[in-house]
Chain A
Amino acid sequence: MEEWKKILDSAIQDSGNPDKEPRDLGRNRPDNPKIVLLLEALRNVSKKELPVDALFPEGIPTDEQFFERLHRLRISLGFGQPEVEIVAILASAAVEKLSIEERSLILLGIADDSSENLSLRLEVFPQLVRDHSWPLELLFKVFLTVNDKKYQGNNGYDRAVQALAESRPEQAFDLVKKLITPQSSEKNLGLAQYLLGLLRLNDKEVIQQKINDFDSHLMGAAVVQHRILYTRSLIPTTWARGLTEAVMAHLQSVYLSGEPEEQIAAFIVAAHLTWCPANTEVIFQSSVEWLEATVSETLPEECKLAVIVLIHNASFWAKGGYLEANLPRLADLWLKIIPVDSTNLKYWDGVDLALHDLIEKNQPAFQTIFIRLAEIEGKKLIDAISDSAAQQNRMLLYSLRQRDNTGLVQDLLLSKHRRARRVGVFLYDELDTPIINKDRLDSEEEERLLLLLLELRLHNVSGLGLARLLVSLLSQTERCSSDFKDELLEDLVLLGKDLPGTVLEFFGSLSNCSATLKSALDQINEYFDGLKASDGCPALKMTIPGYAKASELFAKRFSRQVSAAVEKNSIFAQLTSKMILLYALNHSSYQHGVLTAPQALEQISHSQESPRIGVIAPESQAFRRLIAKNWIHRIEKGDR
């Protein structure tokens, strides 16, 4: 008997008894001569010569027993790549003996993730793909399942994809077509992209021909091409440009004549392709022209998002040249699609990123878009850029903090648009903006100042920030009506009562500069004198049954919420692990046989003044906001 047969026979016999642990012939690998010899022989002999019957003496099963038997054999042979290949060759030989239906069952078994030997199944997958012809539907099903279950990282799976592309390119392309639809998942498009890359379509005409084959799946194909263009390593730049031109032309024609779903997909891809590293200025200009003619505020939401993504990418990559020069033009595209009125977080993530990139490259374009966005979609804009949103949505705010945005914030605060004022109040607070210039205030009509005053009543602005704004408005009391003065005085008094700590100190330092402020301070002091006089009053000493317990419960809940928020938002807490010392107020550690000196624990605390009036008179505060809202509404309607 030939040597390889002896080795294989021994392994088959050794692994044949399910009750007996197989020996690991390959345990002395990496360079086990027996395995090397065996693999070499198997690669060269006909499948018919392989001892499949010895491996499956009771016939070839089509269920999990098939893989179980192979698994045992692999244990006997060893766990290296050559052993895997040996098993795969034997598996392929066994499959050859089966009917078409039986083969299908084996292939479907590969995608059974409930099996304990999934790894082995995936490892024999490439050999089965390479050696046998499979129905497209079956291949599609198995690849889709395996792909969807995130086995892409598995070596066997990757090799199966490669095997398909190499051994059956036509079928691989058909599979790509099936994988690519406008509804395809990212993972499936990724697989399609991978396959396309492996197909090495490097002839422009061939590619054009191939794309045309996609018919209704054109947009998906274009997405794939777009991805390829971004990862230029897969396709030479020279033909990528040609490809883009062809794709763009096709997309534009589909947009004009396709079904609504196709139109949307075509637009999205076209917007994506407008800029990419492989493009030329000519392609860019023609694409932008087409977009300019196409975009409007009635554009579907997905298409609008594509425009935002385009601006984000273009701003990000713009480093001089035609791209940077054309940023205002792209910004105009954005202006044309407002409002988006989207609740899609992806869109607002894109907005944050696009604005962040735009502000870096073109401040005027940024300012124009930002103000317009604030006017039309203020609340959503705040949500998108605020620190309280998802962590990735902090880019713009970060950029804004690095710059002097006084002009922008002033424009927003004094805007006639309510949403813009709201964004202004938000930014004023977040960016710690200086007070509004007197000259700027002087130039505004009283109505605009009143709108600002009312707007401030609707939002929670930090005490000192609000105090500074109100004080800056004091400079206008002489030229404004007594009504405005009264309203301002009311706000000053309320603020002083609400936050008597920092705010009163601030007011006190300025009391000589305005009679209105002095009057406010007098009222505030009288108020607190009244409260002080009640100290020790027996009428106030009673309590309410259940109150103590409820306060305790509330305090616990509040404390837990604060702790959770701190842990969530603290970078320090995220970088370090939490450990609770069981005893004592000093700590030390014993590591690598060394005991460190004891160290005292340090306490870190932060305190903040809490507004009073919201607790004391929540109804009147709510009513005040309601009144302010109505008043603003009336002013905006021209009925002050």
Chain B
Amino acid sequence: MNDDLRTAFLTYYLQSLKERTRLEKGIIKNGLDWVAYSLGIANGFRPIRLPFFRNSGAELPKAKNEIEYGIDESFVVEGDKKLVIFVLKDERLTNGTWTNNDFEGDLRRAIAPDLSDPLLKDITTVEVVLIYNKDEDAGGVALFDRFVQNAPSKIRDVITLSITRWNLSRLVEQVSERLMNPNLLPSKYFSLFSYICAQFADFRHGSDQWENQLIPNWRAFLREVLAERSGERAVLMLPVALLILRELGKENPSSETGLIDLTEWAVLEAWSSALESGEPLALAAAHRLYGEFYLLQLERFYRAHGHVISKVHVLDQGGGGSFGVAQAANAIKALWHTARVGLLAFGYFQVLARRTTEEKAEHAKQAFEWAHLMIGLLNASPAADRPILDINHIELFLIWRTLQQVGKKADAGKWLANLEKNLFLRRIGQDHLIFVHTGLNLEPVWEYLASGEAPPEFDDTSSTLVVMLMMLCQTMAVPERDALLMLFWNELVLAHDGEGRPLKGKTPLHLMAWQPPKDWSKKILRESVGQEGECIVLNLFEIGSEPTTGAEIAEALERFVREVRAKRETALPEEIPASLVALACLKHQNPLPMEFWCSLIYPLKPQDDNGPVNEKNNPSS
């Protein structure tokens, strides 16, 4: 993440603030006054006057009902010799607002402060700062400059008076420079967020503490922020919180991937909340968080590190001495990266604006870049071809989609063939390789690999992953497809060796597919719906009539898809980007609805059959 992204999202956030923090219809409206106060404190100022009573803990600062005389906040500094006065405005500085919104009136009152307070007896300088969190125009600036030129340079002939202004850019600059800490957020969240910051700086991304302590805290924080339905501002506060985390956790070596993880949770919560509220601005902010914050964050991350992790075996180096355990850990890590590259490629087309021809061309070019990075990762890391859990079908789908999206069918075919080969070797169980565990929990896998004995919870007898892979074969050229499908069927499904003999101790796989419940799209952003809907057990062929050609398998799969489409609702949600749904499934360990790939493989219109798979075939794009 670089500075322009940071500036952009700080700008979005600060721009969204009203002048005062207040409670409105039971909803907290964060205000510019809190930011200005925090900036003052961050600059080492001693507050003299604040527009609110400071409260502790989760309580909201309470507004004062007193005459301000144009002075929103004042501080003393430099050994009580300088008085700094903040005049706050949540308006644009323009010719029209100069008088209509009392810029001039407030400034006039502010340059004549009451210095009778004994606390101010040593004051030698007064600095009045006009802070406004919106843009300005030339007229507004000219009026301000004239005001400054005509204002007295001294108070009581002995105290020097200066007047300056912090526009939005300067405010962002100040905040970026001095206030990237929990103080920037409303005081209500200070305690929890400070704790999260400490954990973020301390815990290694993906560690047990990370998963069991930080993530629950972070999700609780997200919900608390978003539960107040403060719409756009709450959503815009999330990237600011993430930026603060980034700032405070930069000493943590795993903070970059960790921040991606936290961002993903934030994106899902923000979208869920925005959809629930129905506020267009909140939805736009969520869209921006996903597209401009998350996806660009991913883009920058992989631009910076993609060339390193696509070097041979770089992703496979961990835990050399622990054999199977290390292999599984490397696989999960490699799949984490392939999934993010896949989401980037998937989301790029869907979310980021493509207004002009140049932009479209640029995006297409970048989609190729991500596909090349994906191929690089797959070539460099054997672990990327090692799904450990059945739910890893999501990562595999994202790999395939990335390649398919730019027409790299041959590469996709090679990848599928390689995957089949690897899975077959694991199906044999040779060299302590274990097959894909059907559960969502890694615990039985660890136990199996660490102890050498399969615990009762370990199960590798069913698969939706294999069903998906067989369907993905459909996009290959027919001869290759048929050959590969036969291998899938004989070696993985039936567990036969190359000579057609059953593998010792292995039984045929139970093929399955998951059909989501009707209301899944409303829930999926917030929680898993994997235990809802229905699990379809596929009996593609009658007992005793095993397929003899790949074409028979291809036909059987297509018949199955047609049957499902005819009898079940299969449409993907229109209001949520499909890539975001994929992210939600990934985060919640929810199986991906098979329409994700079926929509690309089995076009809804029969005449499109065998046509090229591209974006137009994808109803979710």
Name A's B-contacting residues (CB within 8 A): 497, 527, 530-531, 533-534, 536-551, 553-555, 557-558, 610, 612, 614-623, 626
Point out the residues of chain A lying under 8 angstroms from B421, CB to CB: 619, 623
Point out the residues of chain A lying under 8 angstroms from B312, CB to CB: 527, 530
CB of B521 within 8 A of chain A? no
Looking at the complex, which of B149-157, B158-166, B281-289, B446-454 is the stretch in contact with chain A?
A: B446-454
Which A-B residue pairs are the 6 nearest by beta carbons? A550-B446, A530-B311, A541-B254, A617-B382, A553-B450, A538-B256
Point out the residues of chain B lying under 8 angstroms from A612, CB to CB: 320
- Asked if A551 and B326 sit within 8 Å, CB to CB, the answer is yes
Looking at the complex, which of B14-22, B107-115, B329-337, B463-471 is the stretch in contact with chain A?
A: B329-337
Point out the residues of chain B lying under 8 angstroms from A545, CB to CB: 206-208, 210-212, 442
CB of B322 within 8 A of chain A? yes
B123-137 vs A, CB cutoff 8 Å, 1 = contact: the mask equals 000000000000000
Name 13 interchain pairs, CB-CB below 8 A, sorted by A. Answer: A533-B308, A542-B206, A542-B336, A543-B333, A545-B206, A545-B207, A545-B208, A545-B210, A546-B443, A550-B446, A551-B319, A553-B451, A623-B421
Looking at the complex, which of B42-50, B54-62, B361-369, B426-434 is the stretch in contact with chain A?
A: B426-434
Given A538-B255, A542-B254 in contact, is the A557-B316 Cβ separation under 8 Å? no
B306-326 vs A, CB cutoff 8 Å, 1 = contact: the mask equals 001101111111111111111
CB of B216 within 8 A of chain A? no
Given A617-B382, A619-B422, A623-B421 in contact, is the A536-B253 Cβ separation under 8 Å? yes
Point out the residues of chain A lying under 8 angstroms from B328, CB to CB: 544, 547
- Asked if B426 and A619 sit within 8 Å, CB to CB, the answer is yes
Residue in B closest to A613 when the chains form the complex, CB atoms: B313
Tally of contact residues, B, Cβ under 8 A: 62
- Asked if B382 and A619 sit within 8 Å, CB to CB, the answer is yes
Compute how far the CA of A618 lies from the CA of B316 in the bound complex, rounded to whole angstroms.
11
From A541, A615, A617, give the contact of B205 (CB < 8 A): A541
B412-452 vs A, CB cutoff 8 Å, 1 = contact: the mask equals 00000000011001100011110000000011001101111
CB of B327 within 8 A of chain A? yes
A525 to chain B, nearest CB (A): 13
CB of B258 within 8 A of chain A? yes
Give the secondary structure class of B's interface: helix
Point out the residues of chain B lying under 8 angstroms from A530, CB to CB: 311-312, 314
CB of B401 within 8 A of chain A? no
Point out the residues of chain B lying under 8 angstroms from A527, CB to CB: 312-313
Compute how far the CA of A19 lies from the CA of B613 in the bound complex, rounded to whole angstroms.
102
- Asked if B207 and A543 sit within 8 Å, CB to CB, the answer is yes
Given A527-B312, A533-B308, A618-B433 in contact, is the A547-B329 Cβ separation under 8 Å? yes
Of A536, A558, A615, A619, chain B has the most CB atoms within 10 Å of the CB of A619
Point out the residues of chain B lying under 8 angstroms from A610, CB to CB: 320-321
Compute how far the CA of A557 lies from the CA of B450 in the bound complex, rounded to whole angstroms.
8
- Asked if A616 and B385 sit within 8 Å, CB to CB, the answer is no
Point out the residues of chain A lying under 8 angstroms from B188, CB to CB: none
Within B151-208, which residues are at the interface with A (CB < 8 Å)? 204-208
Point out the residues of chain A lying under 8 angstroms from B254, CB to CB: 538, 541-543
Given A618-B433, A619-B421 in contact, is the A541-B443 Cβ separation under 8 Å? no
Point out the residues of chain B lying under 8 angstroms from A557, CB to CB: 450-452
CB of B350 within 8 A of chain A? no
Compute how far the CA of A620 lies from the CA of B382 in the bound complex, rounded to whole angstroms.
8
Residue in A closest to B302 when the chains form the complex, CB atoms: A539
Point out the residues of chain A lying under 8 angstroms from B383, CB to CB: 616
Of B336, B386, B430, B446, chain A has the most CB atoms within 10 Å of the CB of B446
Compute how far the CA of A84 lies from the CA of B295 in the bound complex, rounded to whole angstroms.
100
From A533, A547, A558, A619, give the contact of B446 (CB < 8 A): A547
A399 to chain B, nearest CB (A): 34
Known interface pairs A537-B309, A541-B257, A550-B447; 15 further A-B residue pairs with C-beta atoms within 8 A, sorted by A's residue number: A534-B314, A536-B253, A537-B308, A540-B315, A541-B256, A542-B257, A543-B205, A543-B207, A544-B442, A555-B322, A612-B320, A615-B320, A615-B327, A617-B382, A622-B425
Tell me the total A-B contact number using a CB cutoff of 8 A.
Answer: 160
Residue in B closest to A497 when the chains form the complex, CB atoms: B313
Point out the residues of chain B lying under 8 angstroms from A538, CB to CB: 253-257, 305
Compute how far the CA of A537 lies from the CA of B324 in the bound complex, rounded to whole angstroms.
24
- Asked if A544 and B433 sit within 8 Å, CB to CB, the answer is no
Compute how far the CA of A626 lies from the CA of B257 in the bound complex, rounded to whole angstroms.
38
- Asked if A554 and B323 sit within 8 Å, CB to CB, the answer is yes
From B207, B211, B317, B447, give the contact of A616 (CB < 8 A): B317
From B258, B325, B333, B386, give the contact of A619 (CB < 8 A): B386
B327 to chain A, nearest CB (A): 6
- Asked if B206 and A531 sit within 8 Å, CB to CB, the answer is no
Residue in B closest to A552 when the chains form the complex, CB atoms: B450
Compute how far the CA of A550 lies from the CA of B327 in the bound complex, rounded to whole angstroms.
12
Within B330-349, which residues are at the interface with A (CB < 8 Å)? 330, 332-333, 336-337
From A531, A543, A546, give the contact of B311 (CB < 8 A): A531
From B204, B431, B433, give the contact of A542 (CB < 8 A): B204
Of A549, A554, A612, A620, chain B has the most CB atoms within 10 Å of the CB of A554
Point out the residues of chain A lying under 8 angstroms from B318, CB to CB: 540
- Asked if A622 and B333 sit within 8 Å, CB to CB, the answer is no
- Asked if A616 and B329 sit within 8 Å, CB to CB, the answer is no
Compute how far the CA of A384 lies from the CA of B435 in the bound complex, rounded to whole angstroms.
34
CB of B301 within 8 A of chain A? yes
B424 to chain A, nearest CB (A): 9
A588 to chain B, nearest CB (A): 37
Point out the residues of chain A lying under 8 angstroms from B449, CB to CB: 550, 554
- Asked if A543 and B313 sit within 8 Å, CB to CB, the answer is no
Point out the residues of chain B lying under 8 angstroms from A549, CB to CB: 208, 446
B320 to chain A, nearest CB (A): 6
Residue in A closest to B380 when the chains form the complex, CB atoms: A530
Compute how far the CA of A539 lies from the CA of B306 in the bound complex, rounded to whole angstroms.
9
- Asked if A534 and B308 sit within 8 Å, CB to CB, the answer is yes
Point out the residues of chain A lying under 8 angstroms from B433, CB to CB: 618-619, 622
Point out the residues of chain A lying under 8 angstroms from B253, CB to CB: 536, 538, 541
- Asked if A615 and B313 sit within 8 Å, CB to CB, the answer is no
Within B218-256, which residues are at the interface with A (CB < 8 Å)? 253-256
Residue in B closest to A630 when the chains form the complex, CB atoms: B498
Compute how far the CA of A182 lies from the CA of B430 in the bound complex, rounded to whole angstroms.
44
Compute how far the CA of A553 lies from the CA of B322 in the bound complex, rounded to whole angstroms.
9
A393 to chain B, nearest CB (A): 26
B383 to chain A, nearest CB (A): 8
Residue in A closest to B385 when the chains form the complex, CB atoms: A619
B508 to chain A, nearest CB (A): 22
From A537, A558, A616, give the contact of B313 (CB < 8 A): A616
Compute how far the CA of A6 lies from the CA of B326 in the bound complex, rounded to whole angstroms.
88
B195 to chain A, nearest CB (A): 20
From A536, A540, A546, give the contact of B309 (CB < 8 A): A540
Point out the residues of chain A lying under 8 angstroms from B431, CB to CB: 614, 618, 621-622
Point out the residues of chain A lying under 8 angstroms from B447, CB to CB: 550, 553
Given A549-B446, A554-B322 in contact, is the A616-B316 Cβ separation under 8 Å? yes
- Asked if A544 and B451 sit within 8 Å, CB to CB, the answer is no
From A534, A546, A555, A619, give the contact of B442 (CB < 8 A): A546
Point out the residues of chain A lying under 8 angstroms from B324, CB to CB: 554
Residue in B closest to A543 when the chains form the complex, CB atoms: B206
A614 to chain B, nearest CB (A): 8
Compute how far the CA of A620 lies from the CA of B422 in the bound complex, rounded to whole angstroms.
8
Compute how far the CA of A547 lies from the CA of B212 in the bound complex, rounded to whole angstroms.
14
- Asked if B382 and A544 sit within 8 Å, CB to CB, the answer is no
- Asked if A534 and B309 sit within 8 Å, CB to CB, the answer is yes
- Asked if B322 and A544 sit within 8 Å, CB to CB, the answer is no
Compute how far the CA of A548 lies from the CA of B452 in the bound complex, rounded to whole angstroms.
17
B301 to chain A, nearest CB (A): 7
- Asked if A539 and B337 sit within 8 Å, CB to CB, the answer is yes
Point out the residues of chain A lying under 8 angstroms from B311, CB to CB: 530-531, 533-534
Compute how far the CA of A540 lies from the CA of B312 in the bound complex, rounded to whole angstroms.
14
Compute how far the CA of A557 lies from the CA of B319 in the bound complex, rounded to whole angstroms.
15
Residue in A closest to B321 when the chains form the complex, CB atoms: A610
- Asked if A539 and B382 sit within 8 Å, CB to CB, the answer is no
A220 to chain B, nearest CB (A): 42
